[in-house]
Every structure is written in C-alpha cells, then in structure tokens.
Chain A
C-alpha cells in the first residue's frame, strides 16, 4: 500500500498548485526537526498530517492535544488545532479540528481518522487513513466546502523508522476548497539519547528536504533542524512525563531568512 500511495502522489505532484497551498505539516516538534513528523509523539495531532500514527502508547486509551503555529509573526495566519484520540486496542480513532486564516478568508477543517497498528518486539507497522471536511470562507461572506482523503504508513525495525504520509490523495467538492495534495517521506534513526531525522516534503510546487536531531535528557527533549529552500533553521524543546500516560508540552521556533521567525507550541495529555 505504501507504494500505491507513493505512486499516486508522485503523479498528482507533477503539476502546479491549483487551489490553496497549505501550511507546512506538523506541529512544534516537527517544525523543530526539519518538518519531521516522526519527531512528534503518536497521538491525536497526527490525524492532521500522518494518520498512521494516531494510536497512543499501548497503555493509554484516550488522548487530547492542542497545537498552535504562528507563521512569520502574523496573528492572522495563526493555525490552531485540537484533536482527541480513542484507542481501545490495535485500532485507534481520532477527531480533529483545525482553523487558520484571517476573517473573511478563514480555513477550517474537521478531520476524522482511524489507524491500525501491530507492535512486535523490535518492529512495528501501522497504517492510517483520515477524511477531512474543509471549509473556506470567502470575502462575500459565503463559504465553499470540499472533502479529501489522507493516508499514511509507518514501519519500524530496530533503530530505524520509515514513514510516509499523503494528504488529499483524493478530493471532491468545490475546486477552490479542495486542498492540494502533498506527501511526506521520512526516516528516523534512533541512537539512544539522540534521534536523527531526514525528511522530504512534496507538494505541487516542489520538493523540499529537511532534517534534524532530537536529544532526550530526562523529561526534556531538545530539538534542532532545518528545512528549505529557502532554508530555515529551527530549535525546539519539549517536556513530558515519563511513560505512556501523562502530559506533554513542546515549543519551537524556526527562522525564515526573509520572513522572520515562526513560533509553534503544542500540548497534550493521555491516560
């Protein structure tokens, strides 16, 4: 299935953007490590970008999370996300709501996702899919709507994790509300205290590489990365309680060479 998704998005990615360019995928931790979605914990916020990583750790059944990203210091473009996950077993379901954009041009989407995962000693495999209902306000006061299908997969063996996520694999509704397709292909290598990330993100405009490193020191994780072009450097820090249950908060800042800094934070709890 991974290769089917790759093929679909490669084909879709050969043209120019036809509708709205979406903000970069990911939340605080992803932004701090060069847009590496694997740097974020599994859980509710993954429903927006990588539905294969919805399921929280095995011992937690419910998780709530929220995130906010303020691109380039502009309040009008700040993106807010809230999401919840319920994972009674190998299957997890999630519901998320995202909003960004100024009044009169606001973008909102409601995302419903489901994922399945299989965990074995030293390896893991997960698949997920999500349907998003998007709504765009227009200047006349009306709104246009569209729907789109997202999908993702993640595979782990030993210290290596490879993941692929594709958004808007299929879509319908008003053309101007349909999100443009994009995909993220990434790999992570676990060194123990540190984790290395390499990422490719692709949309109808082009492909951008990114990457970073995360250090875990007790409840604190320090993250650094870069993505481009134009190349933006990023730093982040996250605090979380030990174990699958508990709370987590992360903040990050990336610096665009011409547009200046963007800030992001996210927080969540699981039990």
Chain B
C-alpha cells in the first residue's frame, strides 16, 4: 500500500445514547505540503459481507488540507463544527471506514471481528464502547496494523490532536469510604496519568481537590455520573499537591483527604492540572461522599428471624417526607434489592420521624407480626439475603455481612456491618444520635422477634431531666434478656453501666462509653463477664455518668432478681 499524505486519524461511530448528529471522521495531513482533497472520498464498509462499500463523502476543490492540519467530516451536532457537515450512518463492528485517494490508494480502519480481509489492515481494531472514538495512538502514524495503531479515546477530540503534547488526566477516583461519620477524614485515591507526548517535570503539575456540600434539593442534578465538570467555587479548593515527574504513559496514585466541617452530602472533584494541558476535558473526576446519615437511617435489622422473612426497619430523620420508590438495600456482595411502587402492602412515603419496614414478602411479615400495620411495610426485591455468620476463613471478629441503604441516586444513606446473628433476635439501634458503625450502638432486641415499625426496645426518646435508670422486667428468667434503660440528663456524658452482686462485686460491665443525649438501653442476657450464667439471687445495677468536661459524676442504682 502506498504511503498516503492524508490518513484517517479519528473515527467516532458510537456516541453515547442516541447516535444521531455526533458521528464524525477526522483526517490529518502528515505531509509538509498542502493537499487538495478533490476526488478523495470516504467509504463506509459493512463487515457482514464482502465488498460492501458505500461512499458518503467526496472531496471538492474547496477542500484544502494544510500541512499537519486536521479535516473533520461529521454531522451537525459535532463540536467544534466540522469542516464539512454530512449525514453519516456508521455502525458498530464489525464494520470499516476507508479513505480513498484519487489515485486509488486507500487507508482502511476496520473494527470489530472481521472475516473479510479488505475491511482492515493487519489486524482489526477493537470495537469501542459507546462514547469512545477510535483514534490513532500517535497522530498520523500508520503502521498498517489497525489493532496497534488505533486506541479507544474518550472524550473524542474532533479537530484536535488525539494525544496532545501535554495532557495530564485523572483516570480514576476512588473514595475509600462512601459513607463516613461527622468528624471523620474523607480519603480518596486519585489515579493521575500523563497521556501526553512529553514528560511532565516534577512540581510542574499538581493534583487538587475541590469539595462542596450538596443539599438534598440540588442532588438530583449532580448525582454520581452526572455533570462532573461543573466548575466549583474557588473557595472550595481544599487540597493542592505537587506531583513528581511523570513520563508519558506513566501514572501515579495521589492520596487526597479532607475533613468535612458539617454532616450531609459532599461532592468532591479531584483534578490534575498542568500548564498548557492539551486535553482539559479529562482533568477532573467527581465523587460523592455521605457524611453522617442520609435521609433514611437503619433502625433495626432482622438478619436471622426464626420465622418469616428477613427485614430491616428504617427511620426518616429529615423534616420532610421521603419517597421510598427506588431505594435499594445492598449486602456485602453488592447484591441489591429495590423498593418498588405498587408492591402489595407498600407504604411508599416515609413521614418525618416515622418507621418503615422493608422486606421481600410484606404479607408474610405481617402474618408473623400480627400487630404490624401493613401500611408501614414495603416490598423490596430481590431481597439480598443477609448472612448469619462471617464467610468461612474470615478473620476472627469479621462481620457476618454488610448492609447498605441507598437512595435512587446511589449514595450510601446508611451502612452497617452486621455481627454474627443471634437466631430469633433482631439487632436494634440504641440511639439515632450516635454513629451507625459503633458496635455499642446496636444490641439484641429485648423482644423476641423484634419490634418492626415500633420503637426499639433498647432505645428511647428525648433527654429527660436528671439521671434515671430502669430495669424491665425486674425478675430475670433464664433465657430472657433484661432491658436496662437510662437517661443521664446530660447532652454528652461518659457512661458506665454494670451489674453487681449484693456484696458490691462487679459481675458484668455492660456499658463503658461516651453517651449521646436521650435515653438509651442495653439488654442483659443473664451472664457475667466470662459468659457464665449468673446464679439465682438479687443483683444491683449501677449507672455512673460524668458530663463531658466535668470531674464529678452522678449515679443511679436499681435492682433485679434472677429467678
């Protein structure tokens, strides 16, 4: 094949979404002289059969291509506007495009799996996914091997070099945790690559991190995967990190972090900047991180019911109704169940401070819990069956499963690592004011079968004045837990709760932690610190609370009887 002065340089045949209007073919003049394109033509080849070429553009006397310049033939919605606008109907592979010179010399690009040799040079190029163009890896360089010469490129670059001299790109951004608690550091790994021809000296390029809080009202327009390039306010730039020297093709992982000052949903944009970057469109990638709970919080989990289907209870902590349609429940494997409108028994708007139960079979759950109002139960299918025990071979102390609650936009509204399940006992949240991830914030329900759509047996309401401690029931029967509930009257306090025998010797330390306002509870299973059952008799429960920053403490005592 003769060396053509003009060759195909980029072909965009499968735009994302509707194809119409965005397809183009770019030519490049690799000779030192202008080339008149009179009589040159571009053909589309149908790989379904041999010799099925169809010409859709032919050059005229006005089509002049200057040295090293590009010439774009494309549809009307291509930006920047093509040099020539023509209708194009390129198809996904196996298909081909060829450029034919007036003397019969040709440059062919075949993509996909071909069986007819005239449709490609050497080996065909891959069939790229939607949104990618096929572009020469080095502008104008043709080795007569489509597979080697052509690479996927996104976004396409009509009229611009496929590989600029200087191009720093963020190719991947990973938020190490998509759901963190207030006060936590949000950590991200940004993979930055030098996609240009030239190396980038040390300290010339840098990585940056912008952050911005998002209100629920603005979320639908800027969800994950949408509008990642919207400029952010300058004052939200929180990290600037100089990069080491990067050779062409090299990449580096940059660790970025910041501490959100408030709870809520935060949008993060990682960017890599370099002077005279020839492809600024690939400089940024966004991520969404949920700080603190989202609109719905996990309140109770029945991972191992003794009868009836698994279920979870969620609570609306916002001041407005939350539509349940499209919310998902996900397990550690990523398997998701989706709440769907129209499912039997569903109640699909959760009122503020209300509880709703999600399960695979609302009718069966209502049958299992006769007092349960069917209007507070929503169907979620397919249900991601929750493991009762950690996977075999997992390290000691591993979670049995992980539960993630997501709104329709995919954020993590709440997430919980589930401990090994106690069959027949649900896990109840003790305090909505405390972090979901705190193991001490969850306890086995004191009620066999749990409390679906009812106030948790181990949690309570708003703070009450003074310190209080209650025991229910006061007589412990073997096998039935005793519910110990307390309130300190403080906004925040260090709380110790323990059981003692009549001689004042500590039998079991139940709680030793920082407590949030409001009442809280814990269930005692009748065992001592070593797990042995306490002998029958009378026992004391001692509560000590020291307000944050205080020296003195307050105490409360109660008794209980082990039958």
Contact = CB atoms under 8 A, between A and B. Distances in A.
Contacts of A229: 505
B500 interface: yes
Nearest to A72: B557
B535 A74 contact: no
Interface in A12-49: 16-24
B388 interface: no
Contacts of B563: 138-139
B506 A230 contact: yes
B258 to A, nearest CB: 42
A73 B502 CA distance: 12
B559 A21 contact: no
Contacts of A246: none
A256 B500 CA distance: 11
A108 to B, nearest CB: 13
Nearest to A20: B537
A105 B538 contact: yes
A21 B504 contact: no
Contacts of B503: 21, 23-24, 203, 205, 208
Interface string B524-545: 0000000010011110101010
Contact of A232 (B504, B542, B544): B504
Interface string A94-122: 00000001101101000000000000000
Nearest to B476: A139
A106 to B, nearest CB: 10
A166 to B, nearest CB: 17
Contacts of B236: none
Contacts of A203: 503
Nearest to A107: B538
B501 interface: yes
Contact of B537 (A21, A72, A104, A256): A21
Interface in B506-563: 506, 532, 535-538, 540, 542, 544, 555, 557-559, 561, 563
A260 B544 CA distance: 10
A99 B187 CA distance: 63
A206 B502 CA distance: 14
B184 to A, nearest CB: 33
Interface residues of B, number: 25
B540 A77 contact: yes
Nearest to A101: B538
Interface residues of A, number: 34
Contact of A19 (B505, B535, B540, B544): B535
A20 B532 CA distance: 15
B536 A176 contact: yes
Interface in B475-510: 475, 496, 498, 500-506
B505 A102 contact: no
A21 to B, nearest CB: 4
Given A22-B502, A102-B474, A16 B557 contact: no
Given A258-B506, A258-B544, A19 B536 contact: yes
Contacts of B540: 71-72, 74, 77, 259
Contacts of B559: 74, 76-77, 102
| Secondary structure call for the B interface | strand
| Secondary structure call for the A interface | loop
A260 B467 CA distance: 15
A233 to B, nearest CB: 12
Interface in A248-264: 256, 258-260
A53 to B, nearest CB: 22
A138 B555 CA distance: 29
Given A21-B501, A258-B506, A73 B535 contact: no
Interface in A61-91: 71-74, 76-77
A260 B555 contact: yes
A235 B537 CA distance: 28
Interface in A193-237: 203, 205-206, 208, 229-230, 232
A259 B535 contact: no
Contacts of B558: 74
Contacts of B501: 17, 21, 205
A230 B505 CA distance: 7
A259 B561 CA distance: 17
A180 to B, nearest CB: 8
Contacts of A256: 504
Nearest to A137: B561
Contacts of B535: 16-21
Nearest to B537: A20
Contacts of B498: 258
B493 to A, nearest CB: 16
B373 to A, nearest CB: 33
B561 A73 contact: no
B561 A102 contact: yes
B475 A20 contact: no
Contacts of B561: 101-102, 104-105, 139
A258 B541 CA distance: 10
A105 B475 contact: yes
Contacts of A208: 503
A117 to B, nearest CB: 30
B540 to A, nearest CB: 6
Nearest to A35: B503
Interface string A121-145: 0000000000000000011000000
B262 to A, nearest CB: 38
A247 to B, nearest CB: 30
A98 to B, nearest CB: 13
24 contacts: A17-B501, A21-B503, A21-B537, A71-B502, A72-B540, A74-B558, A77-B538, A77-B559, A101-B561, A102-B474, A102-B559, A102-B561, A104-B561, A107-B538, A139-B561, A205-B501, A205-B503, A205-B505, A229-B505, A256-B504, A258-B500, A258-B506, A258-B555, A259-B555
Shortest Cβ-Cβ A-B pairs, 6 listed? A20-B537, A105-B561, A139-B475, A21-B501, A17-B535, A259-B542
Interface of B: 474-475, 496, 498, 500-506, 532, 535-538, 540, 542, 544, 555, 557-559, 561, 563
Given A76-B559, A230-B505, A260-B555, 11 more contacts: A16-B535, A20-B535, A71-B540, A72-B504, A74-B559, A101-B538, A104-B474, A105-B561, A139-B561, A208-B503, A232-B504
